[in-house]
C-alpha cells in the first residue's frame, strides 16, 4: 500500500511544495525560511517516522502567521490524501514526551471528527510572534485539514522553546501510532462501519 502524497499550494501570501510518505523512516527536507519552525517540523518528521519534504516562500516580512498556518493546511491535506479511506489504521494515537523541565501530551483520533484542544501554561507570551500562539494556528490548520481530533496539553514547563519542542515530538509520536496499520482491523476501525 502506497501511503504517499504530494501537492503544491499557491496564494498571494505563500507558495508551498510538499511531499509526505507516512511509511518512511523520519527523513526531513524542510525549508520554510523560519529557522525555529524548520526545526520543529524536522522533529515532527523524525519522531513520527514519516518522510517529509516541505519548501515554502511566504510573506514572513509581514509576520510568520500566514506561512505557518498555510504549512499546517498543506501538511493536513497531505496526511488526508496519504491515508486514503483510512482502512486498516489504528486510528488512535497518544504520546507523553518530556523535554527537560517541560512535558507535553498529544492524543489523536483520525476519525475525521475535527477538533483541537491546545492547552499550555497560562503565563506564556500571548503576542502574535510567540510560538506558543503560532503553534496553535499550525495545529488548528493541520488537524482540520488532516481530519483529526487532536488534544495537546503541556502540563508544566518554564522554557517556551522546550514546551513547543515537546509538543512537536509528542504529536509526531502519536501520529505514528494512529497511522500504523493493524492486521486485525478490516476496513475502518469503527463500530459504525464508516468514519
Q: Are 115 and 149 in contact (CB under 8 A)?
A: yes
The per-residue pLDDT for range 67-102, each reduced to its tens digit, is 999 999 999 999 999 999 999 999 999 999 999 999
Asked if residue 129 has pLDDT above 90, the reply is: no
Which grid cell sits at 158?
518554564
| Dihedrals phi, psi of 18, to nearest 5 degrees | -150, 155
- Which whole number is the average pLDDT over 115-140? 88
Mean pLDDT of 46-62: 96
Q: What's the pLDDT score for residue 161?
A: 94
Instruction: Band the pLDDT of 194: cuts 50, 70, 90.
Output: confident
Beta bridge partners of 181: 89
20-43: pLDDT as tens digits: 999 999 999 999 999 999 999 999
Position of cell 501538511?
75
pTM of the model: 0.95
Judge whether residue 137 has pLDDT over 70.
yes
The CA distance from 154 to 164, in Å, is 9
Give strand ranges (E) for 71-130: 92-99, 102-109, 115-119
Mean of pLDDT over the chain: 95
Query: Do residues 44 and 150 lie in contact, with contact meaning Cβ atoms separated by under 8 Å?
Result: no
Confidence category of residue 127, pLDDT binned at 50, 70, 90:
low
Domains of the chain: 4-179 (3.30.230.40)
d(CA 88, CA 119): 31
Distance of CA 192 to the CA centre of its chain: 27
Q: What are the distances in angstroms from CA 69 to CA 13, 56, 63, 88?
A: 11, 12, 11, 30
Distance CA(142)–CA(34), nearest Å, equals: 18
Nearest to 148 by CA among 105, 108, 120: 108
Whether residue 53 is predicted with pLDDT greater than 90 in this model: the reply is yes
pLDDT more than 90, % of the chain:
88
Give the per-residue pLDDT at 26: 98
Q: For residue 145, is pLDDT > 90?
A: yes
Amino acid at each position: 500500500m502506497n501511503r504517499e502524497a504530494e501537492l503544491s499550494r499557491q496564494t498571494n501570501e505563500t507558495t508551498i511544495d510538499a511531499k509526505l510518505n507516512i511509511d518512511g523512516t523520519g527523513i526531513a527536507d524542510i525549508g520554510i525560511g523560519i529557522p525555529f519552525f524548520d526545526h520543529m517540523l524536522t522533529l515532527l518528521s523524525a519522531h513520527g517516522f514519516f518522510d517529509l519534504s516541505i519548501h515554502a516562500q511566504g510573506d514572513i516580512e509581514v509576520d510568520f502567521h500566514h506561512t505557518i498556518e498555510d504549512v499546517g493546511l498543506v501538511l493536513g491535506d497531505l496526511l488526508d490524501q496519504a491515508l486514503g479511506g483510512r482502512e486498516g489504521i489504528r486510528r488512535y494515537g497518544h504520546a507523553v514526551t518530556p523535554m527537560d523541565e517541560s512535558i507535553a501530551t498529544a492524543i489523536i483520533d483520525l476519525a475525521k471528527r475535527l477538533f483541537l484542544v491546545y492547552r499550555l501554561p497560562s503565563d506564556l507570551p500571548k503576542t502574535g510572534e510567540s510560538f506558543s500562539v503560532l503553534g496553535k494556528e499550525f495545529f488548528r490548520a493541520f488537524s482540520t485539514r488532516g481530519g483529526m481530533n487532536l488534544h495537546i496539553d503541556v502540563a508544566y514547563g518554564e522554557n517556551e522553546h522546550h514546551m513547543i519542542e515537546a509538543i512537536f515530538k509528542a504529536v509526531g509520536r502519536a501520529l505514528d501510532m494512529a497511522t500504523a496499520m493493524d492486521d486485525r482491523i478490516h476496513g475502518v476501525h469503527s463500530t459504525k462501519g464508516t468514519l
